[in-house]
Structure 1
Amino acid sequence: MECFRIDESGYTGFDLLNPEQRFQGAAAIAIDDDQARCLIREHFPKLKADELKYRALARRPANHPRLLALLRDMLTQHKCVTYVCDKRFLLLLMFLDYAVEPFYYERGIDFYKDGQNYSLASLLYATGPTLLGEGALDQLLACFQRAVKEKSPGTLANLVNAARASRWQGLPEALGPLAQFAAPECLQAISTPGVTTDAALVVLQSLISRMEVIADGPYRVEHDQSNNLLTYHDLLQRFIHHEEAITLRQSEIASITFPLKLQSVTQVDSKTSPAVQLADVMIGATIEAANTLTEKRHGTLDAQRVLALYADHQLIHMLPSIDFEEQKRFRKGTQAAQTIDYFARHFHKP
């Protein structure tokens, strides 16, 4: 049975505002350990470390050509997919999902029609820091993720106060439900058991939607035993055991169909799995490239050269875009509301 090895990077649990971990993502590669061992030996014949780790290798400039060549061979010779999201943008989307959309739903308005939520989140991302007042958007998002985590009357009140303390009148479509009305339907949505700002579900859903397309038939997944991946492991198990037949369309190119072709998930020690080590190299290089291109951190590898190695179908990303017409075209007919409701009903822990 075909096996995809996966690894993640940038996981920070419920906190999506960690300035040192701006991006989160995961990579999957369909390769067995013998093939992976040969690739590693070909590109790093003198490697003495017990484990191939991107961060350790990238520190030495002499390794950069070898890393790029290794990435090239992985991407051209094997089925691969990498997903990267800007966590601040994802948090804004979550804010709209729970602190805004229920207000419109109660009034019979489809907030998600043709990706309107993505356009509004992108607008907030780009203009919010100036439009809402200095530090107001940061404070609002910090209060939001705290309220989602703790679900206490105090944290909910702090969230409403943060919205009211901002210059919310500049974008009432997004902040009015909290600032003007303290909309009970929104506060109830935030307080719902199982609602979380943990991005693992979003990352896995996106990665799986692509693996389901490129897998020839039933397949399995192996991943490292790290604590971060325990959340991913639990979610994968729930995906596998979900037997209801349904297809959910997320965009022009993305949908997910249950039951999955994915049959099993196994945790392995990455030190004994060269294939998992290659997944680490792929996601490590891609996350570093994203940081470099957003000028938040100077990377070691040439970011443009890393991203140029990917074919369009091998790299999925969730990033803000103010090309609103393209957003509308790309997400026309999306089943966003149904998808969010479905995943909340079946895959969020109570």
Structure 2
Amino acid sequence: MSTSSDIECFRIDESGYTGFDLLNLDQRFQGASAIAISDDDAARLIKQHLPRLQASELKYRTLSRRPANHQPLLALQRDVLSHFKAATYVCDKRFLLVLMFVDYAVEPFYYERGVDFYKDGQNYAMASLLTMAGPTIFGEAAFDAMLAAFQHAAKAKTPEALMALVDAVRATRWQELPEALGPLAKYAAPECLAAIATPGVNTDAALVVLQSLINRMEVMAEGAYRVEHDQSKNLLTYHELLQRFIDHEQNVEFRQTEIAFLKFPLKLTEVTQIDSKTSPAVQLADVMIGAAIEAANTMTGLKSGGLDPDALMSLYADNQFIHMVPSLDFEEQRRFRQGTQASELIDYFSANFAGPSKV
């Protein structure tokens, strides 16, 4: 009988978590990394690439401030990505918020009228259009106020918050694209307001991030595996969700994209919190996600300095890096998401994993 120490272990870390607030100006991106590497191998790589490191714990944010560390950090990640199972997920939180708006404040209106709004990724196409052109179409200040009202309504769920959202939508130039904002602006669609008010529906991105990372770990793991992560406050939400994923024993499978499937029960059998100071492997996960978030900020012009983002991204194979960002290549989105079960998956996750724990 195998013990937990014999089972393949992925170390994970996150960055950019701001709870339900996806409009935080200082943290535009959120993500997580997973690496299947032992502490001994991680310590060896750290010593090889950063031999002068004096700190008791490897922290990407501290190391990246010194230009002299940039090439060693790139070389370190090249070794990890070339020789170990690893994956990183990054999402644009503003885009994710708009996507959630489409899922709950728009889609139910069309569903009631027999229209499959998720077919071939139409929801992603509309969310991309709104994210990239919404401020121009509807008015920048009014569009931002609408998004703020939406995330507040999803959290508060009071009649006052829901009507404040309707008022915020009506305050935009919604007539410019009534297909998107008309359900609330013109009709105050009760089916949309009911979806937003549903217990468990919220704008916390942790579930989205974990779902994507688990997809990759499930593919990379040959059999049963476990997860270790740091004891940080932000990771408490991730920890609870992981445990609920592990405990979910119903046999079900969903197709999300042409390359992503999610099947329960998971191969994941255990999740453990540890002190990152004692785990070089968890520290490497911090380096991976820290570098990826920094690259996203650099590439979008939000910050400067740090590692060369093009050099960093070139280290990743296609199946090692997952991103959720807006795209106006609608034909590519349609092909990528053709035949997906997005509607069924959203309903299933809302029923089984969203909201407070049932334990």
| Structure 1 residue 45, shift from structure 2 partner | 1.3
Equivalent position of 2:94 in the other structure: 88
Q: Which one of the candidate residues 284, 291, 300 is aligned to 1:294?
A: 300
Q: 2:43 corresponds to which letter in structure 1?
A: R
Equivalent position of 1:75 in the other structure: 81
Q: Residue 11 of structure 1: SS of its match in structure 2?
A: coil
| Structure 1 residue 211, shift from structure 2 partner | 0.5
| Structure 1 residue 296, shift from structure 2 partner | 1.0
Tell whether 2:51 aligns with 1:45. yes
Tell whether 2:33 aligns with 1:31. no
Cα distance in 1 for residues equivalent to 2:284 and 2:140:
43
Cα distance in 1 for residues equivalent to 2:69 and 2:282:
20
What TM-score do the two structures reach when normalised by structure 2?
A: 0.97
**Matching of residues 54-73 of structure 1 within 5 Å:** 54-73=60-79
Work out whether residues 29 and 297 of structure 2, in 8 Å CA contact, stay in contact via their aligned partners in 1. Answer: yes
| Structure 1 residue 127, shift from structure 2 partner | 1.0
Cα distance in 2 for residues equivalent to 1:281 and 1:126:
30
| Structure 1 residue 134, shift from structure 2 partner | 3.2
Q: 1:235 corresponds to which letter in structure 2?
A: L
| Structure 1 residue 299, shift from structure 2 partner | 3.1
Tell whether 2:346 aligns with 1:340. yes
Q: Which one of the candidate residues 266, 274, 282 is aligned to 1:276?
A: 282
Cα distance in 2 for residues equivalent to 1:299 and 1:9:
18
Tell whether 2:216 aligns with 1:210. yes
Tell whether 2:248 aligns with 1:242. yes
Q: Residue 135 of structure 1: SS of its match in structure 2?
A: helix
Cα distance in 1 for residues equivalent to 2:124 and 2:90:
16
Equivalent position of 2:172 in the other structure: 166
Equivalent position of 2:110 in the other structure: 104
Q: Choose 14-23 or 99-108, whichever is displaced more.
A: 99-108
| Structure 1 residue 4, shift from structure 2 partner | 0.2
Equivalent position of 1:315 in the other structure: 321
| Structure 1 residue 256, shift from structure 2 partner | 0.4
Cα distance in 1 for residues equivalent to 2:281 and 2:132:
39
Q: 2:315 corresponds to which letter in structure 1?
A: L
Q: Residue 140 of structure 2: SS of its match in structure 1?
A: coil
Deviations 1:58-104 (A, max 9, x none): 11111111101101001001000000000000000100111111111
Equivalent position of 1:130 in the other structure: 136
Tell whether 2:217 aligns with 1:185. no
| Structure 1 residue 349, shift from structure 2 partner | 2.0
Equivalent position of 1:141 in the other structure: 147
Q: 2:334 corresponds to which letter in structure 1?
A: K
Work out whether residues 87 and 320 of structure 2, in 8 Å CA contact, stay in contact via their aligned partners in 1. Answer: yes
Q: 1:82 corresponds to which letter in structure 2?
A: T
Cα distance in 2 for residues equivalent to 1:327 and 1:216:
30
Tell whether 2:332 aligns with 1:326. yes
Deviations 1:25-76 (A, max 9, x none): 0000000111111111111112110100001101111111110110100100
Cα distance in 2 for residues equivalent to 1:6 and 1:318:
19
Equivalent position of 1:267 in the other structure: 273
Deviations 1:106-136 (A, max 9, x none): 1111110000000000111111101002312
Aligned length: 350
Q: Choose 298-307 or 23-32, whichever is displaced more.
A: 298-307
| Structure 1 residue 207, shift from structure 2 partner | 0.3
Cα distance in 1 for residues equivalent to 2:288 and 2:151:
30
Equivalent position of 1:228 in the other structure: 234
Gaps of 5+ in 2: 1-6
Q: Residue 27 of structure 2: SS of its match in structure 1?
A: coil
Q: Residue 320 of structure 1: SS of its match in structure 2?
A: coil
What TM-score do the two structures reach when normalised by structure 1?
A: 0.99
Cα distance in 2 for residues equivalent to 1:84 and 1:56:
20
Work out whether residues 112 and 337 of structure 1, in 8 Å CA contact, stay in contact via their aligned partners in 2. Answer: yes
Identity %: 71
Write out the 4+ residue segments of structure 1 that deviate beyond 6 Å after TM superposition.
none
Work out whether residues 134 and 140 of structure 2, in 8 Å CA contact, stay in contact via their aligned partners in 1. Answer: no
Deviations 1:282-336 (A, max 9, x none): 0000000011001111131111101111010000000100001111011000100
Work out whether residues 289 and 299 of structure 1, in 8 Å CA contact, stay in contact via their aligned partners in 2. Answer: no
Work out whether residues 228 and 273 of structure 2, in 8 Å CA contact, stay in contact via their aligned partners in 1. Answer: yes
| Structure 1 residue 266, shift from structure 2 partner | 0.2
Cα distance in 2 for residues equivalent to 1:60 and 1:127:
37
